[in-house]
Structures are given as structure tokens and as C-alpha cells.
Structure 1
Amino acid sequence: MPSLRLTAIRGPYAPEFKARMVELVRAERSPEQLAKEFEPSANAIRNWAQQANRDKGHRSDGLTTPEREELRQLRSELLSAIGACNGWSTRVVRQPDTRIWNTAR
């Protein structure tokens, strides 16, 4: 029988902590080394470093943080407008695959 591994779910890391991890990656520490020493996974640290590079203009393979925030805001406004046009209540649930489901009519 496979063993169950329980992991704690924690909230988001502080921006200062993420910035420090990015600094360490830029100082030639590998994400794998940092993951062994600190709590976040190597993949999370790698993602933070990539996003920081996008924000500084060193990468162009994705959205910068301000662009991501603007997109999030526009999506939220669009969902509100669609809901208002269709007479939906304010209780609208958005599924991960971006379909919109009205839970109360």
C-alpha cells in the first residue's frame, strides 16, 4: 500500500522573501540549492526568477507583473459586465477551465 504524504498548505510568500530568493539566484545559487536550504520548491524559486526577469525586460516570453494585474482586473470587470447583462446574481463561480457558471438564478 502506498504511503500517504501529508503536506501543509501555506499562504503566499512575502514579496521581500521572493526578492531575496531572486537575488540569490542571480548571485549564482541554484534554485535546487535554495530549495534544500529554504522552504519553497526549486520550481517556485525558478518561476520567481523568471518573472523578475520579465519585469526587468530581460525576458519577453510572458506578461510582466503589471500586465498580469491589468489582465486580472479586466477579466474581473468583464465577468461583472457579462453577469449584469444576463441578470446573474453577484454569486458567479468561475471554474479553472474559465467556463462561467451561475449558481443562483
Structure 2
Amino acid sequence: MPAPRKYPDELRERAVREVRSSGRPVAYVARDLGIHKEALRNWVRQAEADQGERSDLLTSAEKAEIAQLRKENAELKRSVEILKAASVFFAKELDRPRTKPTR
């Protein structure tokens, strides 16, 4: 479960919109809104990537897809380990000599 966000989404959107529309430096907008300037800088960069203005960063959708694929990959690796353990167990069962039941 991800950590809770320090700033609400509405504030993030407003801050990014303010930086982009006003042309003011990120540090000034951040100070006016009570946001850490590096947090705001990252939000602006991410917004630019999401709108296709930056090719050096992944979009939010791409990041979400990668996270989902990593989660699926980890789950598949766990399944493979379980199946390997099961196959070893059953191979040992097949190799055991069978005795005839006594009556």
C-alpha cells in the first residue's frame, strides 16, 4: 500500500496550472502556496511528460503499467517457486519403493 500523499490532488493541479500559466519560477509559486519547491518541480515535470511535452520521462500511465507488470511478475515468480517445490515433492513420492500391504 503506498504512503498517503502529503498534498491533496487539487493543490497539485492548481500549483502546476499556476506555474504553467503564470510563467513565474517554480520556487516563487511553491513559496506562495506553502509547497516544497522540489515537490512542485517534480509535479510540473510529470505534468509535462503526461501531456507529451517531455520524452525523457515516463508518463503516469506508463509508470502505472510498469508497476502492474512488476506485481504480476513477482506473483508469477512465487507461483513458479511453489510449482518447483511441488514437483520435487511428487518426484520423491514416485521414487519411493512401494511395499505390498500386509494382511
* TM-score, normalisation: structure 2: 0.68
Unpaired segments of 5 or more residues in structure 2? 83-103
Identity, in percent, stands at 35
1: CA distance, partners of 2:71 / 2:23: 39
Whichever structure has more helix as a proportion of its residues is 2
Whichever residue aligns with residue 61 of structure 1, its letter is: D
2: CA distance, partners of 1:52 / 1:30: 16
CA offset at residue 65 of structure 1?
A: 0.6
1: CA distance, partners of 2:73 / 2:44: 31
1:34 paired with 2:29, answer: yes
Higher relative contact order by CA 8 Å / sep ≥ 6: 1 or 2? 2
CA offset at residue 38 of structure 1?
A: 2.5
1:47 paired with 2:34, answer: no
Q: Describe the SS at the equivalent of 2:49.
A: helix
Task: Give the structure 1 partner of residue 4 of structure 2.
Answer: 11
Task: Give the structure 1 partner of residue 14 of structure 2.
Answer: 20
2: CA distance, partners of 1:24 / 1:43: 15
Figure out how many residues of one structure are paired with residues of the other and give that number.
Answer: 78
CA offset at residue 29 of structure 1?
A: 2.4
Whichever residue aligns with residue 18 of structure 2, its letter is: L
After the TM superposition, which parts of structure 1 deviate over 3 Å for at least 4 consecutive aligned residues? none
Whichever residue aligns with residue 19 of structure 2, its letter is: V
Unpaired segments of 5 or more residues in structure 1? 1-9, 88-105
Task: Give the structure 2 partner of residue 101 of structure 1.
Answer: none
Q: Given the alignment, which residue of 50, 53, 59 partners 1:64?
A: 59
2: CA distance, partners of 1:70 / 1:39: 32
* Structure showing greater Rg: 2
1: CA distance, partners of 2:43 / 2:31: 16
CA offset at residue 82 of structure 1?
A: 0.5
